[in-house]
Chains A and B, each alone.
Chain A
Amino acid sequence: MTDSSRPAVEAVGLHRRYGPADGAGFDAVRGLDLTVHRGELFALLGTNGAGKTSTMELLEGLAAPTAGGIRVLGHDPYRERAAVRPRIGIMLQESGFPGELTVAEAVRCWVGLTSRARPADEALDLVGLLDRRTVRVKQLSGGERRRLDLAVALLGRPELLFLDEPSTGLDPEARAAVWQLVRELRAQGTTVLLTTHYLEEAEELADRLLIMHRGRAVVSGTVAEVIAGRPSRISFELPERSGPYGDLTLPPLPAAEVTATGRRVTVRTTRLQETLTDLLGWAARHQVALGALDARSASLEEAFLAIAAEAAGAAPLPIGDPR
């Protein structure tokens, strides 16, 4: 029944519609296929309103899909929630603990609601909240609340962990700590499905990812697969076109696409090293100082923005152009 060779999450043809079936309703998820293998960390990315949270709620069994099938650890997460829930941990996008309870009381309540629960203090220690245990929830900072939420999600040592924007609202130090914790959990064999706004989070943590746009999957695969074929980017500022630089023109740059806005130039290239060599050689010969020079390989962020723009039917966004 719980064949461990099968994926942790399998979703096929997922649809979720809010409101009536006619034009007044809204399709948040429109035919999504998704597979999360056991032991992997899978990131669900997308712009705001792409349908990430709607999808997560279906996979978590909080709502039934309008159409499509879901198996989570071999069960229907909505109809067979009693079989699924003891084996998964869920952290919603917004935490929900009574403000007048202390941190310890909130966790103790959840200990009573969770099979094979860790001791409350152990869970709080995992997320670095042990010294805040006697503080009322309403007095916690936003970041501390996120960590309390994570502690509760980890209480039952879940096989599968759902994290909906786990690091939103955390300061950089707390975010690094959460990343470290998630890595450790994965190393111990926990399957993790997370959504995030932070592309570097997905780049840092995810084995595989899926980018959603308007309820559909636009692209999926490993970070390397998603980035493959995306251009690298060079940007710099030219000096004023006056005096010795009056008739300055850039050299021909094969395999590159150049866009200029005033003095600011952005070059996209599939061959970063060659293009950069050509450019720097030219600058040395003409004694041109390239201001604010920046060269970078294709990143997930760049790929994401380009993909989102393409999916929206627009031209790729001018990345890195400050104006």
Chain B
Amino acid sequence: MTTVTGRLLALGRAEAALLLRNRTALFTALLMPPLMLAALRPILDQQRATSPGLDLHAALVGGLAGIVLLFVVYYTLTAAYVGRRSELVLKRLRTGEARDGEILLGTAVPAVVLAVLQLAVLGAASTALLDLPAPVNPVLLLAGLVLALALLIPLAALSSAFTRTVESAGLTTLPVLLVAQFGSGVLFPLETMPDGLATVCRLLPTTPALRLIRIGWFGGDGSVPATGFLGTWSAAAPALLLAAAWALVAVWAAHRWFRWEPRR
């Protein structure tokens, strides 16, 4: 009998071979984060000039995590789902023993592994180069990462439902990418925004999970004063609940609208 793990690995292995052979996807997944990072630094420098209280390093790390997750997981995966659907691969897979959720999750394995590896390398590199403190609450950091994945994977499935071809994925992923980059503290830290706007932005789907990553590492995210391990739990509680709620909504929406075969 096959196991869930075995099925996920079989799907992930095939998908990894495909990712390695797809230059566009590989370029996006490998080079986009460093490029965006290079662009991010001067933006944040400029913002610090106007908001002196900004913790530059924390904003940088938070933005970095957001960029990696958005491009490597969300964007890559949207294109992958569209590609597999148009080749009737998803339809064929549904005739086998893998359940629907496993097919989608198995396809996501290489993108998730790649994102986690990039985050680890970039995290370690920035710790060394920027002399960052050790994460205050690693559990919260990890929870933020898991919830971000739990949001972005179904969101990619959902976006693929509105995408006809792999080429048009660049367009259909734009709304989520733009909202997340501008509204979830990736390019513009929320603490530099006017209070009303920042409050609205904290409610956006992609914001709470990214906030958890920042609070987990630095003990605060500019809106809540930095605390220690225990303090971070109460500071992060609303974001934790909201992130979980958005992930559930995304899973529901993906389930409702996902398409397993191309339109005829």
Contacts and interface: CB of A to CB of B under 8 A. Distances in A.
Contact of B9 (A92, A112, A115): A112
A98 B84 contact: yes
A113 B97 contact: yes
A282 interface: no
Interface in A101-142: 101, 105-106, 108-116
9 contacts: A90-B96, A96-B92, A98-B14, A101-B14, A105-B14, A108-B14, A112-B2, A112-B6, A113-B93
A143 interface: no
B10 interface: yes
Interface in B10-39: 10-11, 13-14, 17-18, 21-22
B1 interface: yes
B92 A113 contact: no
Contacts of A109: 10-11, 13-14
B98 A113 contact: yes
A30 interface: no
B90 interface: yes
B6 A90 contact: no
A92 B17 contact: no
Interface in B52-111: 83-84, 87-99
Nearest to B91: A96
B164 interface: no
Given A62-B94, A92-B91, A115 B2 contact: yes
Contacts of B92: 92, 95-97, 149, 152
Given A85-B95, A92-B95, 10 more contacts: A86-B97, A90-B96, A92-B92, A96-B88, A96-B93, A97-B89, A99-B87, A109-B10, A112-B9, A114-B97
Contacts of B6: 112
A97 B18 CA distance: 11
B88 A94 contact: yes
Given A99-B87, A100-B21, A114 B96 contact: yes
Interface string A6-50: 000000000000000000000000000000000000000000000
The 10 lowest CB-CB distance pairs between A and B, nearest first, are: A112-B10, A96-B88, A96-B92, A109-B14, A90-B95, A96-B89, A113-B96, A85-B97, A100-B21, A115-B1
A225 to B, nearest CB: 32
Nearest to A60: B95
Contacts of A85: 95-97
A96 B94 CA distance: 11
Given A60-B95, A105-B17, A111 B88 contact: no
B97 A98 contact: no
Nearest to A153: B95
A95 B88 contact: yes
B1 A111 contact: no
A115 B97 contact: yes
Given A105-B17, A112-B6, A97 B87 contact: yes
B7 interface: yes
Contacts of A82: 97, 99
Contacts of A112: 2, 6-7, 9-11, 13
B13 A96 contact: no
A110 B92 CA distance: 10
B78 to A, nearest CB: 17
Contacts of A114: 2, 96-97
Nearest to B84: A98
Contacts of B18: 98, 100-101
Contacts of B17: 100-101, 105
B14 A86 contact: no
A148 to B, nearest CB: 11
B106 to A, nearest CB: 9
B9 to A, nearest CB: 7
